[in-house]
Amino acid sequence: MSRVTLPMSDELKSNLSQPSDAGPTASRSTVPIWIIVLTLLLLFLGAVYFDRHSGWFDKQVYAPYTSAEQLASYQPKSGAASMLTHGKAVYETYCGLCHGSDGLGKPGQAPELAGSEWVAKDITSLARIPLAGLNGPIQVKGRDWNLSMAPMGASLSDADLSAVLTYIRESWGNKNGAVSVDEMKAARAAISGNAPTAADLAKMTPVERGHAVFQKYGCFQCHGQEAKGGVPNPNAKTAEQVPGLIYVADGYTKDELKTFIRRGERNIPMLHPDGPPPPHFMPSWSNVISTNELNDLADYLFSLKPKGDNLGF
Amino acid sequence: MRTNHKFDVLVLGVAVLALFGAAVARAEDQLDAETKARIDKFEKGPATIDVSKYPQGIQDNYETFSQKCAQCHKLSRPVNCDYVLPDEWSRYVKRMMRKPGSGIDSADGKKIYEFLTYDSSVRKKVMLDDKLAKLTPDEKAAAEAKIKEVHDKYDNK
């Protein structure tokens, strides 16, 4: 097909010859102040919206609830359901970090609880794990583990422990039955059955009694036998281990030490700030340990400073 | 015009960061409120000390202090805190140096202790005198002896 050339009109020709002034042009000018004001206002409103509707990013709070308090007000107050919600809250605080919210554990660190034969055992055997910790080799669902678990539940009440064990025994497909507060009380008594009697304690010195307290609450599980330290705590700034306690007499007054034990330390500084939080932390013992026990414990810990070691400075 | 534009962006950036920071701070786990308030107050102060008028040995120890202590916390914390007595400093420094992985040996610890004791007796003199006055006569004499020991070691050398 041959090309057809249309004759161009004169008007068109004259338009082509001059530069067009109809196109868009760009020029610099300041951002109008109202845009800045509007943006700040929107940011502010956004923040207010988040504040009112997100429960401040609390992972338990989803719309339409606006705060943890409101959410709690809708929870069942009694019966089996309340035991499970209470247990879940305790679980997420103390166990979930390692054993996972899904109960599947963490490879190389914490075995799964879903379908675990240890969860199905008698209540005393199961309760011994959070109460006393678990160190050394263990087999779970046919896989070998070498554990160093702290006595995460040693500072919990019977109500908290029975709730969390019930939650573990009744979640993720587990059907092992609830644990009542009375059963938990009996299990705790059975586990601490080899503790010294009151008559024994009366004959002991404060340091000896303090040692018994150290054993009773499982302090050695994290701070090591005779408080010499060395238990791994991955990503803790303290050389990835739980500190030993033999030099506390140098670094604390007895009152400072007792205050620290009562309060605990939930936030362990991290070696790598982007890494995972260290699994072990110092629980608060204020609701667990008696004043006399705490005094004896401080005496025991102060007695540990190596003799003749004036290494201070 | 161009600079104005940059300024606007800067203002927006700062505003966004401030809002974000507020959210993070609020979500952060609450440390013991009293301790946190104390630490916050200290950390708001200056992070350095003018040591130019201190003896050379103390200036050297200041270097050790800055280097070692900043590994784990802001220097403004010890610089502005209310510890001033020799025993308070020796306890605090030993507590820190005994943390596994602190990298502070007892020679370093001693330098840091000497620096802090010297500095407290000059820069925090009012606070120190106040605390000394509250001690028993025996404790006061012991504390003053320890301060004098550090001054004798470094002054006029």
DSSP, res A289? S
Residues of B numbered 40-79 whose beta carbons fall under 8 angstroms of chain A's beta carbons: which are they? 72
Tell me whether residues A247 and B94 touch, CB distance under 8 A: yes
Tell me whether residues B110 and A313 touch, CB distance under 8 A: yes
Question: What local confidence, expressed as pLDDT, does residue A11 receive?
Answer: 56
- Band (pLDDT 50/70/90 cuts) for residue B74 is very high
Q: Mean of the pLDDT values across residues A181-202? A: 79
Judge whether B38 is closer than 8 Å to chain A, CB to CB.
no
Question: What local confidence, expressed as pLDDT, does residue A48 receive?
Answer: 84
Q: Which residues contact B141 (CB under 8 A, 6 or more apart)?
A: none
Q: What mean pLDDT, rounded, does chain B reach? A: 87
- Nearest residue on chain B to A229, judged by CA atoms? B100
Tokens at A294, concatenated:
């705490």
- Nearest residue on chain B to A46, judged by CA atoms? B19
Residue A18 has pLDDT above 60, yes or no: no
Q: What mean pLDDT, rounded, does chain A reach? A: 83
CA angle A167, A168, A170 (to 5 degrees): 65
Question: What local confidence, expressed as pLDDT, does residue B1 receive?
Answer: 44
Long-range contacts of A224-227, Cβ-Cβ distance < 8 Å, separation of 24 or more: A226/A304, A227/A301, A227/A304
- Band (pLDDT 50/70/90 cuts) for residue A309 is low
Q: Which residues contact B11 (CB under 8 A, 6 or more apart)?
A: A36
- Nearest residue on chain B to A270, judged by CA atoms? B72
Q: What are the C-alpha distances in Å from A115 to residues A163, A165, A172?
A: 18, 14, 8
Range scoring the smallest mean pLDDT among A151-155, B25-29, B85-89:
B25-29
Model pLDDT for residues A124-140, shown as the tens digit of each residue = 888 888 988 887 778 88
Distance, in Å, from the CA atom of A86 to the CA atom of A166, rounded to the nearest integer, reads 10
Q: Which of A29, A47, A243 sits opposite B19 (nearest CB)?
A: A47
Tell me whether residues B29 and A266 touch, CB distance under 8 A: yes
**DSSP state string for B79-93:** HHSS--SHHHHHHHH
Q: Report which residue type is found at B62.
A: Y
% helix, strand, coil for chain B, step of 5:
70, 0, 30
Q: What are the C-alpha distances in Å from A215 to residues A132, A196, A208, A222, A247?
A: 9, 11, 11, 11, 19
* Contacts A267 to B, Cβ<8 Å: 29, 31
Tell me whether residues B99 and A241 touch, CB distance under 8 A: no
Judge whether A167 is closer than 8 Å to chain B, CB to CB.
no
- The radius of gyration of chain B's CA atoms, rounded to the nearest angstrom, is 20
Residue A16 has pLDDT above 60, yes or no: no
CA angle A226, A251, B141 (to 5 degrees): 135
**3-state class of B147 per DSSP?**
helix
Model pLDDT for residues A274-283, shown as the tens digit of each residue = 988 888 888 8
Distance, in Å, from the CA atom of B9 to the CA atom of A120, rounded to the nearest integer, reads 61
Q: Closest by alpha carbon to A284, among A312, A268, A302, A261?
A: A261
Distance, in Å, from the CA atom of B33 to the CA atom of B41, rounded to the nearest integer, reads 12
* Percentage of residues in chain A having pLDDT higher than 70: 85
* Contacts A48 to B, Cβ<8 Å: none
Judge whether A73 is closer than 8 Å to chain B, CB to CB.
no
Residue B10 has pLDDT above 60, yes or no: yes
Instruction: Count CB neighbours of B43 within 10 A.
Output: 16
Range scoring the smallest mean pLDDT among A9-18, B18-27, B99-108:
A9-18
Do residues A98 and A108 lie in contact, with contact meaning Cβ atoms separated by under 8 Å? no
Size of interface A-B (CB pairs under 8 A): 80
Do residues A131 and A153 lie in contact, with contact meaning Cβ atoms separated by under 8 Å? yes
Q: Report which residue type is found at A308.
A: G
Instruction: Count CB neighbours of B28 within 10 A.
Output: 10
* Percentage of residues in chain A having pLDDT higher than 90: 27
Judge whether B110 is closer than 8 Å to chain A, CB to CB.
yes
Q: A133 or B74, which is more confident? A: B74
Range scoring the smallest mean pLDDT among A12-21, A86-95, A232-241, B94-103:
A12-21
Which of A45, A248, A250, A284 to mutate: most B Cβ within 10 Å? A250
Residue A147: enclosing H or E segment and its boundaries? strand A143-149
